[in-house]
Chain A
Amino acid sequence: MSTVVQARPESGARRRGRRARSYGGGVGPLGIGVATLWLSIIVLLPLAAVLAKSLEDGPAGLWDAITAPSARAALILTVAISAVVALINVVVGTLIAWVLVRDEFPGKGFVNALIDLPFALPTIVASIVLLSLYGPNSPVDIDLYATRPALVIALLFVTLPFVVRSVQPVLIEVDREAEQAAASLGAGNWTIFRRIVLPALVPALLGGAGLAFARAIGEFGSVVLIGGGIPRETEVASQYIAKQIEIDRPESAAAVSVALLIIAFVVLFALRLAASRTQRHERG
């Protein structure tokens, strides 16, 4: 959507001048006010309340709550597992996207539709579904209940679409002539992939992996049943926060919430920065 805006800056500015007289900016000042009020009440005020609560005892109090042993363990585990999940997604997501774009086989349309299922499926259902196969009642005797591999599987399930869906369109657009030229010059497949295809995929891979990571650090529903939530073992940050609210320690819940928010913002901001840098690189 932002590319559309950037694509016609002059005409936009010209139109805006005219519209100010004739059409009043679509919804007018009242509409802008309504939108701002709506977003403030629904999104900004609640988040402000979390921030205020976490700082009730000053920055030192916030730091203490985040570095309390089980809070720190939950945060480190969450970030580590999410990083592993993002990495696996980079490899497998590229593979799946490649197969969906460059390979032909019966039922490809079905497989393509299957990729979006984890987005549509409620997370608690994902948890139940995975638990039926990888839990105590597993028909194949793989009981991963309350282990870290179970967390990885649950997060891989819910983050499946991110990398596949960001790499797929790029792979369709990629310049095949360059690949053919390289092949005719005697380059092997691996060399062609590494030197020609992969560089074109890097921005999409970074974007997909970043979104998967951001989703994974906040994920709750899909890990709540299969993860077991054992403190300092399999308890992820979101489970820790939910528990703090349950035992009525809102300050500590707010502190870890703020930590999660900051991590997510840093990752998404870094992504936006990287994306704009590669765009400039391509144009220059």
Chain B
Amino acid sequence: MAISRTTRLSLRTLALGYLFVLVMVPLGLILYRTFEDGLGAFWEQVTTPASISAIQMSLLIVAIVVPLNVIFGLVTAIALARGNFPGRGLLQAVVDLPFAVSPVVVGVSLVLLWGVRGWFGGLAEAGIQIIFSLPGMVLATIFVTLPFVVREVEPVLHEIGDDQEEAAATLGARRWQTFWRITLPSIRWGLAYGVVLTVARALGEFGAVLVVSGNVPGESQTLTLLVHARYIDDHNVFGAYAASTVLMFLALVALFLMTILNRKREDA
């Protein structure tokens, strides 16, 4: 298409204008509002006891969710890519299911399963509290992040094929040896990408965690819940901006890592 300069410029202006109004200006404004009173004011809001405990809570959830997702995600990805068993198609569909479920519905489903009046309500009666405490928040986060590792690793497994794995097995390698020496090194960038997506989503999850958390400041509040509570309950708008800026910074780090890992994957 030979497009005139005017058309080209006006299309560019329209597209960039849309991004400017929808993304750039609001983000810039938050940064401005956060830092307009200087770094000290920001730091004060980020280091309140409630805020520190929220950061620890978020990190704790990430620390529990990531290893679980890596272990079970790898098992699932290998089973789906290498196994040939009845119900494989169904398993594939279940892995994608969390993408189609609203975060709030995730929370509700966990309450109905693990809550006092739920199917596993016996646990709560026996003193093992799942809902309105840490295990519920972990379960909610695992639910929403479950597809990432599987979906990043499985295509790589298909791509590399199993010739090398078979060769290793023929030469007498045990299954573990084959996994550590052959499989893991070839899927490492895909796995790393899946982990970054998992961490970003785990830190950012709000709806699912809100429904199942007790939302008690200093006890069962994550960073995203803190943003919400400061804005809605405490009317501490500046504090909400400050906590949002922390989350925004973490999102940017994730985005940066994703770009780097993408390049690594393409080179590999």
Q: Chain A interface (Cβ within 8 Å of chain B)? A: 1, 4-5, 15-16, 18-20, 22-29, 31-32, 34-36, 38-39, 42-47, 49-50, 52-53, 92, 95-96, 98-100, 102-103, 105, 111, 113-118, 120-125, 128-130, 132-134, 137, 139, 153, 156-157, 160, 179, 183, 189, 192-193, 197, 214, 217-221, 224-225, 237-239, 241-242, 245, 250, 253-254, 257, 260-261, 264-265, 268
Contacts and interface: CB of A to CB of B under 8 A. Distances in A.
Given A237-B102, A239-B104, 6 more contacts: A117-B252, A124-B244, A125-B224, A129-B244, A214-B100, A254-B108
Q: Which of A16, A32, A36, A264 gathers the greatest number of chain B CB atoms within 10 Å?
A: A32
Given A19-B82, A42-B142, A42-B143, A117 B255 contact: yes
Of the listed residues A26, A99, A221, the one surrounded by the most CB atoms of chain B closer than 10 A to its CB is A26
Contacts of A156: 22
Interface in B200-240: 200, 203-207, 210-211, 224, 227-228, 231-232, 237, 240
Interface of B: 1-3, 7-8, 11-12, 14-16, 18-19, 22-27, 29-30, 33, 72, 75-76, 78-85, 87, 91, 94-95, 97-113, 117-119, 139, 142-143, 146, 151, 154-155, 158-159, 161-162, 165-166, 169-170, 175, 178, 200, 203-207, 210-211, 224, 227-228, 231-232, 237, 240-241, 244, 247-248, 251-252, 254-255, 258-259
Contacts of B91: 35-36, 39
A124 B143 contact: no
Nearest to A30: B75
Contact of A225 (B27, B79, B110, B228): B228
A15 B29 contact: no
Majority secondary structure, B binding face? helix
A35 B75 contact: yes
